[in-house]
Each structure stands twice: as C-alpha cells, then as structure tokens.
Amino acid sequence: MLELNKEIVARYFELKGYSVNRSLFADLAIENPKTGDRAVVGIKGWHAEVFYLGNFTKNSEIFDFIKPEILRTAGEFFNSNKFRKILVVSRISRKQKNSCIEACGGKGVDELLEFRAILDFLINNADESKNYSDPVMQMARLFRVYYTKDKLPQRLIREYI
C-alpha cells in the first residue's frame, strides 16, 4: 500500500510542476525547477485512521522523515540546506486541526497535507475524455467521471460535500 500512496502523492506534485525523486532517504524528494522550491516528503497514509493531536505528540515514527541523518542526506542531495519538510497523512481531526498543525510545526514540519486534498486535486485535474496510461491518473479520471458531486450515490453525498 505504501507504494500506491507514494505514487498518488508523487503524481500530485508532478502535476504541480515538481520533479519527483522516489528517494531512499525519505518517501519523496521534490524540486520545482521553475521556482527552486525543494522539499522532503513523509507519507503516512494510514487510511483507516483519523489523526488526532495524540498521534503527533506520542508517535515519533510519524516524524522519521525529518531525523537529523535524513535531513543531512537531503541537504547533500539538494546541494543546499534550504528545503521544506512536508508531511502527508490520511485525515486530521477537524476539531483538532489547528493543534495538529502547531504540533507538527513544533517538530519541524513546514506543511501538513491530507490525502483528501491530494485526491481532490488529482480528480479535478483529470481529463474525463482522456484515457491515461498512468494508473493513478486513470483512476482519478474514473472518479471524476463516476463520482462528481452531481453523480455521487446518495449515501456518499454527506461525506463528500
């Protein structure tokens, strides 16, 4: 499942203009050739879970991608110590979202992304009339065709909107 999560997140950044390296030192290393923006990306797609403040304060495994040795290697890879640290998680508790963002910032994370935002972006950027050879974008296309807001099954409408 981790590989699929990586591919989904990689495609998201590629569509945003980044070169993506599926590196050995973090889940992903990304760089935008136009802006020079760089980042290491940690992916925790524990899709059965909602992340609460306790996840970020009690589970150090979440922050493995920003351990000092990883950041040193990333600095060598980018040939610079100027890069962001982005954490991608399944979902964040709506009630604790600000606290979770603050806790991650306190640990050194610059940006916290939810899979929902990534999937929404991919679906919204998929061309309904195009068949993709890329399985991630083909799946996004199918979701766009079959599960847009006006076509959602009634049981899903409350969750989606």
Average pLDDT over residues 110-121: 94
**pLDDT band (50, 70, 90) for residue 1:** very low
DSSP string, 94-149: STTHHHHHHHHHHHT-SEEEEHHHHHHHHHHHS-TT---SSHHHHHHHHHHHH-SG
Q: What's residue 146's pLDDT?
A: 85
DSSP state at residue 52: -
For residue 153, report the phi and psi dihedrals to the nearest 5 degrees: -60, 145
Tell me whether residue 15 is exposed, middle or buried, using C-beta atoms within 10 angstroms of its C-beta: 0 to 12, 13 to 18, 19 or more.
middle
Q: What does the radius of gyration of the chain's CA atoms come to, in whole angstroms?
A: 17
Q: Which residues contact 40 (CB under 8 A, 6 or more apart)?
A: 23, 25, 26, 28, 29, 30, 65, 66, 70, 71, 74, 83, 84, 85, 86
Average pLDDT over residues 128-150: 88
Fold that domain 2-115 belongs to in CATH: Trna Endonuclease; Chain: A, domain 1 (3.40.1350)
The region of weakest confidence among 20-29, 34-43, 105-114 is: 20-29
User: Does pTM surpass 0.75?
Assistant: yes
Token pair in block for residue 108: 């050194």
Residue 150 has pLDDT above 90, yes or no: no
Token pair in block for residue 127: 């061309």
Instruction: Give me the chain's average pLDDT, please.
Output: 89
Q: What's residue 157's pLDDT?
A: 46
Task: Report residue 151 CA to chain centroid gap.
Answer: 26
Average pLDDT over residues 29-43: 97
Domain extent listing, the chain: 2-115, 126-161
First to last CA, the chain: 27
